[in-house]
């Protein structure tokens, strides 16, 4: 069923068919675990496939943008099923790095933290580094999360990490995105409290470990 749902969802994104994509999403709203499964096994591989199709000029930029917009709108429909009534004292600031236009993946991560009762501050795509750091100063988060999809943006990622670390050496930083399928782990390894997380389930393990250690 998952394979069939993924194929239908991918086709819906490519054709801009929000209704069909939304129909798949509604099959996964009965629990947080189902939503995680929808994100990890259907949305994520579909968007990765679309990213590859754009990279190899199989689809246009317009088609890629349409698919992204449809997926985001469907995820927004799920928010009432994502938010947890049980809140924690923890805060996280999330966003895509400067010049990175993709934000669906980091929105999924924001939703996972929401499921755990965290206050999430989702800054979206292409937030200038100086503005990102100013927001960190204002919010004083427990965690910072960054995303990048394009491998050639790795140098920008490193510059951003470097700037954040100058002012905030202790706040843990998690990073992820399709770019890390091609490398970049060694950049994160250079900095303390900075790790690359490749999927939703490892994100959950990170959250639980953080909360357990803070008790």
Q: Region 195-206: what's the mean pLDDT?
A: 96
Residue 91 pLDDT exceeds 60: yes
- In a shared domain, residues 77 and 103: no
Residue 38 has a pLDDT of: 96
Stretch 88-106: mean pLDDT: 95
Mean per-residue pLDDT, 84-106: 95
71 and 155, same domain (yes or no):
no
Within this chain, do residues 41 and 6 fall inside the same structural domain, yes or no?
Answer: yes
Give the DSSP letter string of 142-158: SEEEEE---GGGHHHHH
195, 116: one domain: yes
> Mean pLDDT throughout 11-26?
96
The number of distinct structural domains making up the chain is: 2
Which percentage of the chain shows pLDDT scores above 70?
100
Alpha-carbon distance of 141 to 174, in angstroms, equals: 13
Say what angle helices 2-15 and 61-77 make with each other, to 10 degrees.
120
- 34 and 74 belong to one structural domain: yes
Per residue in 44-72, pLDDT (tens digit) is: 999 999 999 998 999 999 999 999 999 99
Mean pLDDT of the chain: 95
Q: Which residues sit opposite 122 in a β-bridge? A: 94
Question: Are residues 158 and 58 both part of a single domain?
Answer: no
Q: Are residues 78 and 99 in the same domain?
A: no
Distance CA 41, CA 25 (A): 12
Residues 65 and 141 in one domain: no
Sign of the four-CA dihedral 168, 171, 177, 181: positive
Q: Could you tell me what percent of the chain has a pLDDT over 90?
A: 93
**Residue 47 has which token pair?**
């968007």
Are 108 and 206 contained in the same domain?
yes
Which pLDDT does position 1 carry in this prediction? 55
139, HSE (Cβ side, Cα atoms, 13 Å): 22
132: CATH: 3.40.50.280
Task: Show the domain range for 185.
Answer: 91-214
Of the residues 30, 63, 82, the one at which a domain ends:
82
Examine the pLDDT at 95 and tell me if it is beyond 80. Answer: yes
Tell me the per-residue pLDDT of 139-158, one tens digit each, with 9 for 90 and over: 999 999 999 999 999 999 99
Identify whether residues 120 and 168 lie together within a single domain.
yes
pTM of this structure: 0.94
What's the confidence (pLDDT) of residue 2? 73
Given a cut of 60, whether residue 77 has pLDDT beyond it is yes
Task: Kindly state the helix (H) or strand (E) to which residue 114 belongs, with its residue range.
Answer: helix 104-115
What single string gives the DSSP state of each residue in 184-205? -HHHHHTSTTEEE--SHHHHHH
The domain that holds 29 is classified in CATH as: 1.10.1240.10
Is the pLDDT at 131 greater than 90, yes or no?
Answer: yes
Contacts of 14 (CB under 8 A, 6+ apart): 50, 59, 63, 67
**In this predicted model, what pLDDT tens digit does every residue of 162-179 receive, in sequence order?**
999 999 999 999 999 999
Choosing from 82, 113, 137, the residue where a domain stops is 82
Contact between residue 18 and residue 12 where contact means Cβ atoms under 8 Å apart:
yes
96/51 same-domain check? no
Q: Of 32, 58, 82, which residue constitutes the final position of a domain?
A: 82
What is the average pLDDT across 72-97? Answer: 96
Residues 60, 119, single domain; the answer is no
């Amino acid at each position: 069923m998952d394979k069939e749902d993924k194929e239908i969802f991918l086709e819906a994104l490519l054709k801009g068919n929000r209704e069909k994509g939304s129909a798949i999403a509604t099959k996964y709203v009965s629990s947080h675990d189902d939503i995680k499964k929808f994100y990890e096994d259907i949305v994520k591989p579909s968007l990765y496939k679309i990213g590859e199709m754009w990279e190899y000029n199989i689809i246009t930029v317009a088609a890629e943008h349409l698919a992204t917009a449809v997926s985001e709108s469907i995820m927004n429909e799920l928010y009432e099923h994502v938010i947890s009534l049980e809140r924690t004292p923890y805060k996280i600031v999330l966003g895509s790095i400067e010049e990175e236009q993709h934000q669906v993946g980091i929105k999924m991560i924001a939703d996972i933290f929401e499921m755990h009762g965290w206050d999430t501050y989702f800054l979206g795509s292409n937030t200038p580094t100086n503005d990102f750091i100013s927001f960190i100063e204002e919010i004083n988060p427990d965690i910072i999360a960054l995303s990048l999809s394009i491998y050639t943006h790795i140098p920008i990622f490193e510059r951003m990490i470097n700037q954040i670390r100058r002012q905030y050496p202790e706040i843990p930083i998690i990073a992820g995105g399709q770019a890390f399928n091609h490398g970049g782990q060694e950049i994160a390894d250079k900095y303390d409290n900075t790790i690359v997380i490749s999927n939703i389930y490892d994100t959950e393990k990170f959250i639980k470990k953080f909360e357990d250690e803070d008790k």
